[in-house]
Amino acid sequence: MKKDKILVIGACGQIGTELTAALGLQYGIENVIAADIQTHPAGVKNYICLDALDHQQIERVVRECDVTQIYLLAAMLSANGEKDINAAWRLNVQSLMSVLQIARDQKLDKVFWPSSIAVFGPGSAKYNCRQHARSEPITVYGISKKAGEHFCNYYFENFGVDVRSLRFPGLISYTAPPGGGATDYAVDIYHQALEKEQYTGFLEDDCCLPMMYMPDAIRATLELMNAPKEKIAIRTSYNIAGMSFAPCDIAAAIRKHIPSFKMSTVPDFRQAIAQSWPASIDDQQAHNDWGWKPAFDLRRMTEDMLMNLSRQKGVEFEMAANIEPVIDFYPHEH
Ligand code: SER
């Protein structure tokens, strides 16, 4: 049997930073190639500098390193995408087309590509938005993810490429910064709470969105990719849910630990993007097909974020009493 050899494109981004480490634990660090467009970041093993739009370079790496799986994470998110429509479309769709073609031609075992809740739009159900709900995205990011989902399905149906995908909600982590989306506030708010005890957000107080803590997102990715092929009924992209909250909810969760924390709001163009998305997601299909179940809610995530960020920043912070320990469902290195 061929040895698993993993190529992660976009390894230095918000998802890539943690997923690359997780894949290293599963497959052995020597079998995971971390690729990103930036010059070699300190401490990253097995690294190559690679442009996700360079088809030939990807093909060469796959051939020369006997790659069997690609995780394509390079993307331009919703807010940044609106600032450069062509660049967003090119990066989000062209890189996927390259990877799918290479996967077909080089007979790769598997491909992972993240989609997003941004495939939904104002016409989609606001609450418990279902797997096959109407989806008419209004951002170039959402449009590119929707097109990408259908290309994934096309390559599976026509060429048997085993490509798997998740529609990620807003992702929150303390390791790498988010990449220019409408949900970025939910990371920044923790940093500002610890540094200044106040935060000025860009979404309305009650703008509720689907969100997920990064350990859940990483575990979901590994569980999807490790599931038997016959269990994967959805070849566009799976709805997955973690939690749903609005800025006022996350502020209240932070205030349990930092009572003096104050939040104000100056909404900008990201409000219209966020408002076009569902507030909550129905992920029954992912649960039924491969057993998806999130572990972190807002309270647990807030404890974990504040604890880890305060350590990182060297900021004095005392967690409120009577807090249950957070269970590390996914064993990642801190
Ligand atoms: N976090 C993403 C964004 O805001 C949603 O997938 O663009």
pLDDT tens digits for range 94-105: 999 999 999 999
pLDDT, tens digit, for every residue of 66-108?
A: 999 999 999 999 999 999 999 999 999 999 999 999 999 999 9
Residue 177, SS3? coil
Residue 267 has pLDDT above 50, yes or no: yes
Number of H helices, E strands in the chain: 12, 14
What is the arithmetic mean of pLDDT over 164-181?
95
Give the HSE-up count for residue 222: Cα atoms under 13 Å, Cβ half-sphere.
22
Residues with C-beta less than 6 Å from any ligand 1 atom:
77-78, 116-118, 141, 168, 170, 181-183
Average pLDDT value over all residues in the chain: 94
Give the separation between CA 227 and CA 237, rounded to whole angstroms: 15
Residue 161 has pLDDT above 50, yes or no: yes
Catalytic residue among 141, 190, 199, 238: 141
pLDDT, tens digit, for every residue of 313-322?
A: 999 888 887 6
pLDDT bracket for residue 1 (50, 70, 90): low
Which residue's alpha carbon is at the smallest distance from atom 1 of ligand 1? 170
Nearest atom of ligand 1 to the alpha carbon of 116: 6
182 CA → ligand 1 middle, Å? 6
Nearest atom of ligand 1 to the alpha carbon of 145: 6
Other CB atoms within 10 Å distance of the CB of residue 314 = 6
Other CB atoms within 10 Å distance of the CB of residue 214 = 26
Tokens of 326: 């957070």
* pLDDT at 320 (0 to 100): 85
Nearest atom of ligand 1 to the alpha carbon of 274: 4
What is the arithmetic mean of pLDDT over 16-31?
96
Nearest atom of ligand 1 to the alpha carbon of 277: 5
If one residue of 183, 207, 268 were mutated to test the ligand 1 pocket, choosing by the most ligand atoms within 8 A of its CB, it would be: 183
Residue 255 has pLDDT above 80, yes or no: yes
CA angle 135, 140, 141 (to 5 degrees): 75
* pLDDT at 43 (0 to 100): 82
279 CA → ligand 1 middle, Å? 13
CA 178 to chain centroid: 9
Buried b (16+ CB within 10 A) or exposed e, 238-258: bbbbbbbbbbbbbbebbbebb
Tokens of 35: 């690729």
260 CA → ligand 1 middle, Å? 29
How far CA 334 is from CA of 12, 97, 180, 295, 328, in Å, comes to: 16, 34, 24, 18, 11
* pLDDT at 332 (0 to 100): 38
* pLDDT at 214 (0 to 100): 98
324 CA → ligand 1 middle, Å? 30
Is 185 annotated in the active site? no
Q: Are strands 47-49 and 69-72 parallel, antiparallel or unpaired?
A: unpaired
320 CA → ligand 1 middle, Å? 31
Give the separation between CA 216 and CA 275, rounded to whole angstroms: 24
If one residue of 141, 146, 281 were mutated to test the ligand 1 pocket, choosing by the most ligand atoms within 8 A of its CB, it would be: 141
78 CA → ligand 1 middle, Å? 6
Tell me which H or E stretch contains 285. Answer: helix 284-290
Region 6-170+212-239: CATH code: 3.40.50.720
Instruction: Tell whether pTM > 0.85.
Output: yes
Closest CA to 162 of 62, 287, 286, 69: 69
pLDDT bracket for residue 179 (50, 70, 90): confident
Q: Which are the contacts of 130, defined by CB distance < 8 A and separation ≥ 6?
A: 239, 282, 284
Nearest atom of ligand 1 to the alpha carbon of 78: 7
CATH class (in words) of the domain with range 171-211+242-283+296-313: alpha beta
3-class SS string, 90-106: HHHHHHHHHHHHHHHHC
* pLDDT at 8 (0 to 100): 98
How far CA 314 is from CA of 113, 194, 195, 333, in Å, comes to: 36, 10, 10, 19
What is the arithmetic mean of pLDDT over 289-297?
97
Q: What is the domain partition of the chain in residue ranges? A: 6-170+212-239, 171-211+242-283+296-313
What is the arithmetic mean of pLDDT over 221-232?
98
